[in-house]
């Protein structure tokens, strides 16, 4: 069973993107770029064990190769690498390999302890030293405020001290997935580079930068604090299931630039180059009246000139608003637009025109203190506009405009306000003009949610039964969608809202899920079986199927170049097409609210505008190839610890200005058609059953007409009364207008394998048929836009698995294979088409899922995903296959423990 594999040229282009997303934080005495024939000693095991991505579903891409730092450096033959030191590290790493369990569960690799004499000897023959420090984190694996995670280990600290003791010229490369502590920085360290995780070409990319083949142009997407605890958000309590967002809208630089400027190590938007730039203001204009129109706003023209004398480079121009404090209170700065130049040669200039609609400067009033409750407003006062190359350094004279009376840009209705009372911070200004933290009570919910839901239940479409209509007739405007959906019985509608996976046998092998035409009857209606695949850093296909691993999300946002990212993802779209994948489960755009969040590498920034612009570019790029993207995790997914039980308590203002803003941009600018809700709760409601999130804001306010899926095996609680969550409560998911549950097992949708409550709720009236029909309309409307619909048929059905030759192993009796271990050799006596069934039990704890890849002769057949069966034995269909007479090896790739597989049966078709 083969797939299309990696796209030619994609990895090479991703290398250039990784170089542009590399951030040069420090470069005293022009330590970088390294010059020809300079002697360099490289320290740190991560020069060899170089991280290429974070962990979990957002990073587990199988690659045909991956590059490291030291061998990429040696291959250029430009500098003289200390071979003695290289041999020492190579020998130690070979004797102390990274254990497979540590790749996923650990945030660092054990570092080699090096003797002082070894460092001294290296300094005698090498002029410069480079230390490579590595970190990772990921899904279900947060960072911690401990050594070996956010902080250096003692061994790493000692290494830096030893190298700085003996070398006068020291550089540090941070091969990391997240911002980390930098208190170790000292005057002896000449250069610091954030290389991030650059994908499979990451080793080549960072070498391109340090040798001067590429000039760094990355800018920080996050603030680097001096002390982790200086912010209100950088903590994770593993014993808590509630996170109160006391910092409100004051996230990242909005907090630091307002309240704690002296607690910043490197400011938001900062990044150096090998050259220097001059930014000159050419004009500042207000376009049109101050309204909510996207055409009306602030226009700024600047002239950017490369005034260096040796290197070319790119510069990012950033524009921030300093709004009047008014009644609402404001951060000292807020990013409202940015742009990046093309590659400027020495002496070359470019005119950039930057535009920011007025609504980007607006604030949301969730209390009515401005006089306009539930409205986006520009309060009266003077708005100062700062133009520079980071949040602090103005490069042009400050301009401003005045508003005499508060202007309402958009009136909306209250939605998602918390029900519990808590305090949030707010600035007060002393007589010297300095900001201090005050607190105010957060407004709580005042609307009747049950009444809102009841009043907006759609009208039922009368059931007609099968009239022979097909989905393609809707696509050709021959019949209405309502007429098509009228044919579906309640039972057929129930099946449609259940996704299946992973590694569904009828779509591209090893992918995350399939939905839509999950039953024969649904496919007869013309609904295609749609293939979904992770993820943010490239296509993840289990079973050893290769794709292109691209730089992590944080590195992409560090480019501040949405045009470049759109080009990158247009190639991702082509690779999706090549592998017959219809929907990528990316981008992830949650705010970097907490620097310890393990999945920050999948996301982009602490700033919603930067998140939204980069994510919109991702979606636009993918859609150019005729496939689609899924924006996730909607919303407030700020940590992995306890994420399926965590209740995020957030004000409506913070939600609308910070945590939902990036999603709003992707809906309106990126035109995304697929949204994935998060696993956590917001103000008591699980995201999958949050009516105001999925209906009031997403669909009614933002005019979204795509479909919504859950995150995998999420919980759902009552749409009005909240309460405890359940993986079976799909009725409330449908009522909230979250359309598809991900996932039941393969072939489990028709059987209602997870025993969800849809059928029961239809019968007792808790769920209306019209609500289920509404979900079906959303799914089918999306299906019409997919490449799967254009194909018109399933690509993988009754896939052929050829036999092997050789000595005959054991025969199986009655086509039943009793499972004794993970490798099962057997001789198959007959040829033809067979249905494979599995008998299993599971004792997974709580909501846990266990998984097992099933392979025939080293080809992936499917993946078994099961929850807790309380030790009871069940049987289920795995796949339909074609088999020959001959030898087979059935491998079960899983970690024995909770899951027990006792029997595999081959039923002749």
Contacts of 893 (CB under 8 A, 6+ apart): 822, 852, 853, 854, 855
Nearest to 587, CA basis, from 550, 561, 560: 550
Q: Under a CB-based contact definition with an 8 Å cutoff, are residues 299 and 355 in contact?
A: yes
Question: What residues does 863 pair with on adjacent strands?
Answer: 853
261 DSSP 8-state letter: G
Give SS3 for 310: coil
Tell me the longest C-alpha to C-alpha distance in the chain.
Answer: 91
Q: Alpha helix (H) ranges present in 361-441?
A: none
Q: Under a CB-based contact definition with an 8 Å cutoff, are residues 767 and 493 in contact?
A: no
Question: 443-468 burial, b for 16+ CB within 10 Å, e for fewer?
Answer: bebeeebeebbeeeeeeebeeeeeee
* CA 613 distance to own-chain centroid: 14
Q: How many CB atoms lie within 10 A of CB 720?
A: 18
Q: What span, in angstroms and rounded, lies between the C-alpha atoms of 858 and 270?
A: 49
DSSP 36-84: TT-EEEEESGGGTS---S-BSTTT----S----HHHHHHHH-SSEE-HH
Strand 423-429 with 435-441, pairing: antiparallel
Question: 409-440 burial, b for 16+ CB within 10 Å, e for fewer?
Answer: beeeebbbbbeeeeebbbbeeeeeeebebeee
Q: What span, in angstroms and rounded, lies between the C-alpha atoms of 530 and 581?
A: 8
* CA 210 distance to own-chain centroid: 28
Q: What span, in angstroms and rounded, lies between the C-alpha atoms of 133 and 255?
A: 28
642 DSSP 8-state letter: T
Q: What span, in angstroms and rounded, lies between the C-alpha atoms of 830 and 527?
A: 35
Q: What span, in angstroms and rounded, lies between the C-alpha atoms of 23 and 69?
A: 16
End-to-end CA distance of the chain: 20
Q: What span, in angstroms and rounded, lies between the C-alpha atoms of 689 and 737?
A: 8
Sign of CA dihedral 789, 790, 793, 799: negative
Quote the strand ranges of 220-340, DSSP E. 224-225, 242-244, 264-266, 277-287, 297-306, 316-322, 334-340
Can you read off the two tokens belonging to residue 453? 């839901």
Give SS3 for 345: coil
Can you read off the two tokens belonging to residue 672? 């995304």
Can you read off the two tokens belonging to residue 746? 């393969």
The label of the residue with tokens 């083949």 reads: 213
Q: What span, in angstroms and rounded, lies between the C-alpha atoms of 555 and 568?
A: 13
Quote helix, strand, coil % in the chain, to nearest 5: 25, 25, 45
DSSP 110-142: PPPP--HHHHHHHHHH-SEEEEEEE---BTTB-
The residue from 68, 247, 711, 739 that is catalytic is: 711
Nearest to 193, CA basis, from 209, 208, 169: 209
Q: How many CB atoms lie within 10 A of CB 287?
A: 14
Can you read off the two tokens belonging to residue 338? 């940015």
Whether 711 sits among the annotated catalytic residues: the reply is yes
For the annotated catalytic residues, the residue numbers are 711
């Amino acid at each position: 069973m083969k797939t299309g594999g990696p796209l030619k040229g994609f990895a090479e282009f991703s290398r250039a993107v990784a170089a542009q997303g590399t951030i040069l934080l420090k470069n005293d005495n022009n330590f970088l770029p390294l010059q020809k024939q300079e002697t360099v000693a490289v320290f740190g095991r991560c020069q060899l064990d170089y991280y290429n991505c974070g962990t979990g579903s957002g990073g587990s891409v199988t690659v045909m190769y991956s590059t490291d730092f030291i061998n990429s450096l040696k291959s250029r033959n430009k500098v003289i690498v200390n071979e003695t030191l290289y041999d020492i590290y190579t020998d130690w790493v070979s004797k102390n390999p990274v254990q497979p369990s540590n790749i996923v569960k650990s945030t660092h690799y054990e570092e080699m302890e090096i003797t002082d004499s070894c460092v001294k000897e290296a300094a005698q023959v090498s002029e410069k030293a480079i230390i490579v420090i590595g970190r990772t984190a990921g899904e279900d694996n947060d960072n911690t405020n401990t050594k070996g995670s956010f902080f250096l280990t003692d061994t790493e600290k000692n290494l830096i001290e030893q190298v700085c003791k003996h070398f006068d010229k020291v550089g540090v490369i941070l091969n990391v997935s997240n911002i980390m502590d930098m208190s170790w920085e000292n005057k002896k360290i000449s250069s610091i580079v954030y290389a991030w995780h650059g994908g499979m070409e990451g080793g080549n990319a960072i070498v391109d930068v340090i040798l001067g083949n590429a000039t760094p142009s990355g800018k920080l997407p996050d603030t680097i604090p001096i002390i982790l605890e200086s912010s209100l958000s950088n903590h994770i309590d593993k014993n808590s299931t509630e996170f109160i967002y006391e910092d409100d809208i004051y996230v990242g630089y909005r907090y630091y630039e307002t309240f704690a400027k002296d607690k910043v190590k490197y400011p938001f938007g900062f990044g150096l180059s090998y050259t220097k730039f001059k930014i000159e203001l050419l004009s500042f204009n207000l376009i049109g009246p101050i309204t909510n129109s996207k055409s009306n706003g602030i226009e700024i023209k600047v002239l950017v000139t490369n005034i260096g004398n040796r290197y070319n480079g790119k510069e990012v121009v950033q524009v921030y608003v300093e709004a009047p404090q008014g009644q609402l209170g404001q951060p000292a700065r807020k990013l409202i637009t940015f742009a990046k130049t093309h590659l400027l040669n020495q002496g070359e200039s470019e005119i950039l025109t930057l535009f920011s609609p007025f609504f980007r400067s607006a604030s949301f009033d969730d209390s009515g203190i401005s006089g306009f409750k539930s409205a986006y407003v520009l309060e009266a006062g003077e708005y100062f506009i700062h133009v520079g190359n980071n949040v602090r350094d103005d490069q042009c004279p400050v301009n401003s405009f005045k508003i005499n009376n508060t202007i309402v840009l958009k009136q909306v209705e209250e939605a998602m306000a918390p029900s519990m009372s808590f305090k949030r911070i707010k600035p007060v200004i002393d007589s010297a003009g300095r900001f201090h933290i005050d607190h105010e009570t957060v407004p709580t919910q005042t609307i009747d949610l049950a009444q809102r839901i009841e009043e907006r239940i759609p009208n039922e479409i009368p059931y007609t039964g099968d009239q022979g209509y097909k989905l393609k007739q809707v696509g050709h405007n021959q019949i209405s969608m309502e007429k098509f959906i009228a044919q579906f019985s309640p039972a057929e509608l129930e099946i449609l809202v259940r996704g299946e996976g992973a590694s569904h046998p009828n779509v591209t092998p090893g992918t995350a899920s399939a939905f839509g035409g999950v039953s024969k009857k649904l496919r007869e209606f013309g609904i295609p079986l749609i293939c979904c695949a992770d993820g943010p850093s490239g296509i993840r296909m289990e079973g050893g199927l290769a794709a292109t691993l691209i730089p992590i999300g944080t590195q992409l946002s560090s480019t501040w170049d949405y045009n470049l990212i759109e080009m990158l993802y247009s190639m991702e779209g082509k690779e999706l097409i090549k592998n017959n994948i219809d929907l990528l489960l990316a981008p992830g755009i949650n705010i970097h609210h907490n620097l310890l969040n393990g999945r920050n590498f999948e996301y982009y920034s602490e700033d919603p505008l930067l998140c939204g612009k980069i994510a919109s570019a991702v979606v636009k790029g993918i859609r150019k190839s005729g496939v689609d993207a899924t924006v996730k995790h909607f919303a407030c997914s700020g940590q992995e610890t306890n994420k399926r039980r965590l209740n995020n308590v957030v004000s409506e203002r913070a939600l609308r200005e910070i945590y939902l803003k990036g999603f709003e941009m992707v809906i309106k600018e990126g035109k995304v058609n697929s949204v994935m809700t998060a696993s956590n709760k917001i103000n008591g409601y699980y995201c999958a059953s949050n009516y105001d999130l999925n209906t009031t804001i997403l669909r009614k306010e933002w005019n979204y007409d795509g479909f919504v899926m859950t995150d995998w095996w999420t919980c759902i609680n009552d749409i009005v009364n909240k309460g405890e969550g359940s993986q079976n409560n799909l009725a409330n998911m449908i009522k909230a207008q979250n359309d598809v549950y991900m996932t039941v097992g393969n072939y489990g949708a028709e059987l209602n394998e997870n025993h969800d409550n849809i059928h029961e709720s239809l019968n007792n009236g808790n769920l209306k048929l019209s609500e289920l029909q509404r979900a079906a309309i959303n799914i089918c409307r999306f299906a019409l836009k997919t490449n799967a619909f254009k194909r018109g048929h399933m690509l993988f059905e009754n896939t052929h698995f050829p036999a092997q030759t050789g000595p005959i192993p054991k025969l199986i009796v009655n086509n039943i294979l009793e499972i004794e271990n993970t490798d099962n050799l057997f001789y198959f006596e007959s040829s033809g088409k067979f249905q494979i069934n599995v008998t299993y039990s599971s004792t997974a704890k709580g909501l846990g899922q266990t998984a097992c890849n099933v392979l025939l002769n080293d080809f992936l057949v499917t993946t078994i995903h099961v929850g807790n069966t309380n030790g009871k034995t069940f049987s289920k269909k795995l796949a339909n296959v074609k088999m020959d007479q001959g030898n087979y090896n059935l491998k079960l790739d899983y970690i024995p423990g909770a899951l027990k597989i006792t029997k595999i049966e081959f039923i002749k078709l």
